[in-house]
Amino acid sequence: MRRLMPLLALAASGCAGVQSMTGGAGLGSRQFNTLMLAFLIVTGLAYLFVLLFLGGAFVRRRRENVGNFMRPLLIGWTAFILVGIALLTLLSCLDDRQSALAGTGQPPLKIEITANQWWWQVTYQDPMASRTLITANELHLPVGRPVEITLKASDVIHSFWVPGLAGKQDLIPGRTNHIRLLPRRIGLLRGQCAEFCGMQHAHMALDVIVESPARFAAWYAAQLRPASPPATALAQAGQAWFLSHQCVTCHSIAGTTAGGRTGPDLTHVASRRTIAAGTLPMNPGSLAGWIANPQGPKPGNHMPTIAMSGAELSAVVAYLGSLE
């Protein structure tokens, strides 16, 4: 079974990509592969029977007394379906139970995610308020430690889904949902909103980095630090421009006066892989393109186009690019 799994995954998805559900990077995804195999076997047998039975009707030449074996065969077929369904239902329930009981005995990492049109607010929770971390659109997880995520939505229904780790859960305004994850393999994964949420549903992705506990702790510590003050003159000019314009209405940068919460937190934006919820890579070029014209790559999103000169744009890009 263990050796069959990667073969199946390969066959089914042609080299499991970062968003493939057969990747098996998390407990949920591995269980998916096993359960799917069981389903394929049982239902595959049923389909095989149907094809053979159908083919036989055309191949047989003599037609006498089919009624004699048809009735018992029908009963057998009915029994097969009933037993098959019961088995698959049981396996599904067992899978559920296994997921619920899984955990490595470590206390879970607690995260709260609030979905918005069209970005993810990620809050790492900690009993000490000073260790609560707010970031956006990117999730870092230590391998092997269970994660409990509280799911909320600020506007419409979204769905949190990292196929490589586990199944999805909806984020519904007025309700609080939960999902448990157990990452089992280090690597890069991608998640995407899986409930149609409006114009830019297609561009609401999430980068998920599963790393060793040590690297995770280092990342976490770095993220907790306030934004490093800009070193170059250009970046300083950029910060000055940023803090004196509309940007601060929506965005926060810890350690400055920018405290807006309607858009993603930018304190460590340059440390992220992508911007605009997975739409563009994080590099000066895309950053410039995004800020100059957010409606270009993601038409209909809520970031307004702010008039700025080429020099102002370079400065702001330099500043934001320094926020590692």
Partner 1 sequence: MTRPEDLPRDGPALQGEELHRRLSVTWGRAPGLWGWLMTVDHKEVARRYLITALAFFSFGGVLALMMRIQLATPESGLIDPDRYNQIFSMHGTTMMFLFAVPVMEAMAIYLVPLMVGTRAIAFPRLNAFSYWLYLAGGVMIWIAFILNVGPEAGWFTYVPLAGPEYSPGKRTDFWAQMVTFTEVAALAVAVELVATIVKQRAPGMSLDRMPLFVWSILVTALMVIFSMPAVALASGMLISDRLVATHFFNAAEGGSALLWQHLFWFFGHPEVYIIFLPGLGFVSQITETFCRRPVFAYPAMVAALLLTGLLAFGLWVHHMFATGLPRLGYAFYTAASMAIALPSGVQIFCWIATMWESRPRLEIPMLYVIGFIVTFVIGGITGVMVASVPLDLELHDTYFVVAHFHYTLIGGAVFPLLGALTYWFPKMTGRMMGKRMGLTAFALVFLGFHLTFMPMHFVGMMGMPRRVYTYPASMGWEGLNRLSTVGAFVLAIGLLVFAGNLALSLRRGRLAGPNPWNAASLEWAPASPPPPYNFAHIPVVGGHTPLWDDHGRLTYMSGLRVDDRELLLTTAIDATPDLREPSPTPTIWPLLAALATTGLFIWSIFDPWAVVWGSIPVAITLTLWFWPKSREPATEPVIE
137 touches partner 1 by CB under 8 A: no
- Binders in 246-305 for partner 1, by CB under 8 A: 278, 299-300
d(Cα 33, Cα 163) in Å, to the nearest integer?
12
Report DSSP letters for 100-123, one per residue. HH---SSPPEEEEEEEETTEEEEE
In this complex, which beta carbon is closest to partner 1, that of residue 173 or of residue 213?
173
72 touches partner 1 by CB under 8 A: no
Could you tell me how many residues of this chain bind partner 1 (CB under 8 A)? 84
- Binders in 13-42 for partner 1, by CB under 8 A: 13-22, 28-29, 31-32, 35-36, 39
Nearest to 26 by CA among 135, 182, 179: 182
d(Cα 219, Cα 109) in Å, to the nearest integer?
15
56 touches partner 1 by CB under 8 A: yes
- Supply 82's token pair: 């009933």
47 touches partner 1 by CB under 8 A: yes
Least spacing, CB of residue 201 vs partner 1, in Å? 6
φ/ψ (deg, to 5) at 4: -70, -30
Type of residue found at 258? A
In this complex, which beta carbon is closest to partner 1, that of residue 54 or of residue 217?
54
- Binders in 193-222 for partner 1, by CB under 8 A: 193-202
In this complex, which beta carbon is closest to partner 1, that of residue 200 or of residue 267?
200
Residue 211's SS3 state is strand
Nearest to 125 by CA among 220, 48, 216, 194: 220
Figure out which of the listed residues 1, 2, 3, 67 binds partner 1, where binding follows CB under 8 A: 67
